[in-house]
Amino acid sequence: MTDLSDMKEPGYVLKKDDFPSFFARLKQFGRVIAPRMQDQLRFDEVAKPDQIVWSGHTYFSPKEYVFPHTQTLFKYKDDKPIPVKEDVEQIVLLGARLCDLNAFFVNDFLFKNNEFPDEQYIEKRSKLLLIGNYCHSYVDSYCFCSSMEFKPYYDLLMIDRGSYWHVKVNNPKHDWLVEGMATENYKPKPTECKARLPDKNIKEMFNSAAWEKGSKACFSCGKCTHLCPTCMCFTVFDEPDLDLKGGERRLEWDSCQFKDFTEVAGGHIFRESRTERFKHRIYHKLQYFKDQFGVFMCTGCGRCIRNCPEKIDWIKIINDEKNLPHYFNPTNGKSAEELYPQNQELQGRLSAEKTDGKGGGS
Ligand code: SF4
Ligand code: SF4
């Protein structure tokens, strides 16, 4: 049987010199949000193309553009609800990596394609144009995206080819963005971090002592969940006016790592210990969501480990339990290049293509 995995795919050639005019087209669609360096690298509005940072991982995920930290669900006055209509603007989310783009695929299951669709999410999502930035290599040693299952979940994907971008269009509605560009066939090699979490079946290790040992340092700060692109836990509360005759009902991010998250009337708390809460997060990512919707809830972005104040590495907990090699340990002193020499080869090939002016093609 023919192996189709190496077949090149059609796309468009966007010369880097022409990027400003492409950027101007994007602005016709809406506000352009892209990775921009501030106190941290984060998704924010960019006014000029040179503000965009194409390398590195953003600290926060882009989920806040469909699921803000806090939002008003409705207002009320004299016991009567008053609907709130938010003006939702069109946004171009530019430069998101495949892990973050796939997070929209996951979140759509929850808020859009579910039994109880969320109108506010759906409206924001329908006004979002997703343009990805392909990773030729993992961004840092915390990434494990290719250990997970990805879909081509974007409107456009930009693949850096040195002097130009190869642009793939996945949504013909946005063909207008590539109008007039030359075409070529190209398919990049998949990102190599597949070996980091080779076995995602954790059913058998539910009662393992490894969870307690591995999560000992966790202090339930909730940072892992707030930075995660697919963690969407929230709480709902009323904010009454001073006269107590009206007010508003608000939604705010919450975290399954907080003790009171599972507290119910009468004071019972379902997940009392930190280990239970930590374990629940990982089981939700690798098992419960998959059982319910058929996809993993984790996209391998690595934020929950990279930014955990204690650097608790749940991938290592799983690999150790299964006696599998662990390819990254923040303290073992090995660089990503040493662990994955094939990426050096890729970098070399790309710069050679740049120098001889071939730049790929069909
Ligand atoms: S795993 Fe790390 S980031 Fe998450 S709650 Fe525990 S200490 Fe905080
Ligand atoms: S669980 Fe961790 S690695 Fe997976 S998507 Fe969330 S933040 Fe990223």
Digit-by-digit pLDDT tens for the chain (362 residues) are 334 455 688 999 999 999 999 999 999 999 999 999 988 899 999 999 999 999 989 999 999 999 999 999 999 999 899 999 889 999 999 999 999 999 999 999 999 988 889 999 999 999 999 999 999 888 888 899 989 988 889 999 999 999 999 999 999 999 999 999 999 999 988 877 777 899 999 999 999 999 999 999 998 999 999 999 999 999 999 999 999 999 999 999 999 999 999 999 999 999 999 999 999 999 999 999 999 999 999 999 999 999 999 999 999 999 999 998 887 654 444 454 554 444 455 455 545 655 655 433 32
Strands (E), 125-181: 128-133, 156-160, 164-169
Which ligand sits nearest to residue 219's alpha carbon? Answer: 1
Close Cβ partners of 332 (under 8 Å, ≥ 6 residues apart): none
Task: Kindly state whether residue 361 falls inside one of the protein's structural domains.
Answer: no
Asked, for residue 250, whether it belongs to a domain, the answer is yes
Distance of CA 3 to the CA centre of its chain: 30
The pLDDT value given to residue 13? 98
Residues belonging to the chain: 362
For ligand 2, the distance from its centroid to the CA atom of residue 294, given in whole angstroms, is: 17
Q: If you take atom 7 of ligand 2, which residue's CA is the nearest one?
A: 228
Yes or no: say if 62 and 33 are a contact pair by the CB < 8 Å rule: yes
CA 285 – ligand 1 centroid, Å:
15
Ligand 2: list residues with CB < 6 Å: 228-230, 285, 298-304
Token pair of 320, please? 């150790």
Quick check: CB of 222 below 6 Å from ligand 1? yes
Distance CA 238, CA 74 (A): 10
Which residues touch 24 (CB under 8 Å, ≥6 apart)?
A: none
Phi, psi (rounded to 5 degrees) for 186: -165, 145
Ligand nearest to the CA of 215: 1
With a 6 Å cutoff on the Cβ, whether 227 touches ligand 1 is: no
Among left, alpha and beta (phi > 0; psi -120 to 50; other), residue 85 is: beta
- Are 129 and 166 spatial neighbours (Cβ–Cβ below 8 Å)? no
For residues 168 and 159, is the Cβ–Cβ distance under 8 A?
yes
Task: Indicate which residue's Cα is closest to atom 8 of ligand 1.
Answer: 221
Place of tokens 């590195």: 56
Q: Is residue 362 part of a domain?
A: no
- Evaluate whether residue 297 is within a structural domain: yes
Residue 89 is assigned to a structural domain of this protein: yes
Q: Which atom number of ligand 1 is nearest to the Cα of residue 278? A: 1
What is the rounded distance in angstroms from the CA atom of residue 303 to the CA atom of residue 153? 20
Rg of the chain in Å (alpha carbons): 22
pLDDT for 340 equals 45
What is the C-alpha separation between 353 and 269, in angstroms, rounded?
Answer: 59
285 DSSP 8-state letter: I
By alpha-carbon position, which residue is closest to atom 1 of ligand 2?
298
278: tokens are 């930590």
Nearest CA to ligand 2 atom 4: 298
Range of the domain at 39: 4-356
Residue 346 pLDDT: 45
Residue 71: predicted pLDDT: 94
The total number of structural domains in the chain stands at: 1
Please tell me the distance from the alpha carbon of residue 325 to that of residue 291, in angstroms, as a whole number: 27
Taking each continuous run of H as one helix and of E as one strand, the counts in the chain are 11, 12
User: Of all protein residues, whose CA lies closest to atom 2 belonging to ligand 1?
Assistant: 308
Nearest ligand to the CA of 279 is 1
Res 361: pLDDT: 31
Q: Is residue 129 a contact partner of residue 92, using CB atoms and an 8 Å limit?
A: yes
Q: Are 205 and 214 in contact (CB under 8 A)?
A: no
Contacts of 322 (CB under 8 A, 6+ apart): 199, 205
Q: Helices in the chain by DSSP H: which ranges?
A: 19-29, 98-111, 119-126, 210-214, 223-227, 274-283, 289-293, 303-306, 314-321, 336-339, 342-356
The rounded Cα 337 to chain-centroid distance in angstroms is: 24
310 lines ligand 1 (CB under 6 A): yes
Instruction: Measure 301 CA to ligand 1 centroid, in angstroms.
Output: 16
- Ligand 2: centre distance to CA 302 (Å): 5
Whole-number pLDDT of residue 2: 38
Which of 146, 147, 304 gets mutated to test ligand 2 (max ligand atoms within 8 A of its CB)? 304
Does residue 106 line the site of ligand 1, with CB under 6 A?
A: no
